[in-house]
Amino acid sequence: MEHPYLLLTSLFGMLGMEEWAAAHPHVTYMWLAMIILIFFGWIAGKSVSMVPKTAQNVFEVLISGLEEFMVTVTGDEGRKSYPLVLTIFLFVLLGNLMGLVPAFFPPTANINTTLALALIAVLWSHVVGVQRHGIKYIKHFLGPVPAMIPLFFPIEVIGHTARVLSLTFRLFGNMAGHELVVGILLGLGGMFLAPLPVMALGAFVALVQAFVFFLLSTMYIAGAIEESH
Amino acid sequence: MEFLVGSVWAAGLAIGIAAFGCGIGQGLGLAGAMSGISRNPEAAGKIQVNMLIGLAMIESLCIYALVVSLILMYAHPALKGAIAAAAGH
């Protein structure tokens, strides 16, 4: 869906990079999301005190709540993967919510962004598995019975590859579909408020999809940590 | 021209069939969650969270079909040639 007007594209146009920015809105808006996340992280971490105030309070509730949740899924060993998974969650959430602001483009509505996130999440789960089990991690791919290795190995490899595919397309499809529906309703309805119900649904979908991405990466890490049987 | 007609038909059918199956699946999940909540109202919060995650997973199947139909309509490799051929007539 082509956007009629994008704020950052015209900002980059002032610097003489109009053509490049128009072709890569997901890159420029990803930079914006990174700037916002780094800024709020800096705000929250700047004055850490025992009695939390405003920004620190919000971040503490979010971070400790999600950490509790992750530890219940992965066990205590998953705690060191938490910063990565939380960063993915916050980035995806912010990227999804950007779609609701006029003149903004959600970076997660581009397949390149979601593919990068999914590759990082899945590859990190394998890194965790290799760190935890060493060479024995290969047993996760070999199935329960040695005689059935030729059958199980391709299936497991395809299954692990499909994880990247499903993470990518779930997030991309949801956000691109949302953009498309808003655009079509605006074009067909003609009224300014016509896409409003869909945008309300979009705020909900943004949160749910960010959480699903977080939960699935957590579960992949949990699957890599547990013993093969 | 036949290519364009075919791909639009396929896109519409794909999303229709996917929404049909997804509707049945989500309805079954929702029915289970609702009867669980009505039996044990205290567990409503936990059931709701799990139900939402499950519904999002089921919905992603429909989203795959949406992606396929978007590809068929906007990003099919042979689409450009077909449009050029149709415009040439």
Query: Cβ B60–A172 below 8 Å, yes or no?
Result: no
Q: Which domain, by its residues, includes B62?
A: 2-88
pLDDT at A20 over 90: no
Put simply, whether the predicted model's pTM sits higher than 0.90 gets the answer no
The DSSP-derived string for B10-56 is HHHHHHHHHHHHHHHHHHHHHHHHHHHHHH-GGGHHHHHHHHHHHHH
Residue A64's Cα: distance from chain center in Å?
Answer: 19
- ipTM comes to 0.71
**B80 residue type, one letter:** K
Amino acid (1-letter code) at residue A148: M
Domain boundaries, chain A: 7-225
CATH of the domain at B22: 1.20.20.10
**Cross-chain residue pair B53–A166, CB shorter than 8 Å:** no
Contacts of B59 in chain A (CB under 8 A): 174
Shortest distance between the Cα of A15 and any Cα of chain B, in A, equals 31
For residues A30, A196, A200 and A91, what is the CA-based torsion angle, rounded to 10 degrees? 0
Give the span between the Cα atoms of A127 and A134, in whole angstroms: 10
Closest chain A CA to residue B49? A208
* A165 contacts chain B (CB < 8 A): no
Per-residue pLDDT at B14 = 92
> Count of domains in chain B?
1
The pLDDT confidence band at residue A38, using thresholds 50, 70 and 90, is very high
Q: In this prediction, what percent of chain A has a pLDDT beyond 70?
A: 97
pLDDT digit string (tens) for A118-142?
Answer: 999 999 999 999 998 888 888 888 8
Out of A169, A211, A215, the one facing B63 most closely (by C-beta) is A169
**CA nearest neighbour of A25 among A46, A43, A57, A2:** A2
* pLDDT for the residue numbered A93: 93
For residue A57, what pLDDT is reported?
Answer: 81
pLDDT band of A2, cuts 50, 70, 90: low
Mean pLDDT of chain A: 86
- pLDDT surpasses 90 at A1: no
B89–chain A nearest CA distance, Å: 27
In this predicted model, what pLDDT tens digit does every residue of B7-53 receive, in sequence order? 899 999 999 999 999 999 999 999 999 999 999 999 888 888 888 87
Nearest CA in chain A to B61: A170
Q: Which of A101, A107, A98 is nearest to A28 (CA)?
A: A107
- What pLDDT was estimated at residue A36? 92
Residue A113 pLDDT > 60: yes
Q: Report the pLDDT value the prediction gives residue B51, as an integer from 0 to 100.
A: 87
